[in-house]
Amino acid sequence: MFYDPRISMGMLFTLIGTILTAFGLSTRSNVDVYAKSMGIDANLWWGLVLLVFGIATLILGRRGQARLEEAPGTAQPVENKKALPKKTRGR
C-alpha cells in the first residue's frame, strides 16, 4: 500500500500553524513582545500562513491518497518486458 507524504506534512504544518496562531492571539495585547518587529504581530500572521499552507497540503494529500486507493494497479511499478541483449564473449 502506498502512502502520500503530503498528509503527514499537512498535519505537521497545520499543528504548528495552530499553535503559532493561538500564541499570536493570546499575546496580541502585549505591546512589549512585538516592539522589535515594529508592532507587527508576526506570530499571528506567520501562524495563519502556516495554517493555510498546512490545510492546503493536507487536502491535496488526501486527494492523492484517494486516487491511489481507487486505482491500485496504476500505482505499481511497470515491469520492463524487453529482453536485454546477451553479451558476447571473446571479441
Assess if residue 85 is contained within a domain. Answer: no
Q: What is the mean pLDDT of residues 61-83?
A: 68
Assess if residue 89 is contained within a domain. Answer: no
* 8-state DSSP, 90: -
Range of the domain at 45: 5-70
pLDDT tens per residue, range 3-15: 778 889 999 999 9
Assess if residue 40 is contained within a domain. Answer: yes
What's the total number of domains in the chain?
1
Q: What is the mean pLDDT of residues 32-44?
A: 82
Assess if residue 22 is contained within a domain. Answer: yes
Q: What is the pLDDT of residue 29?
A: 82
Q: What is the mean pLDDT of residues 47-59?
A: 96
pTM: 0.67
pLDDT tens per residue, range 7-37: 899 999 999 999 999 999 998 888 787 777 7
Q: Are 78 and 20 in contact (CB under 8 A)?
A: no
Residues in the chain: 91
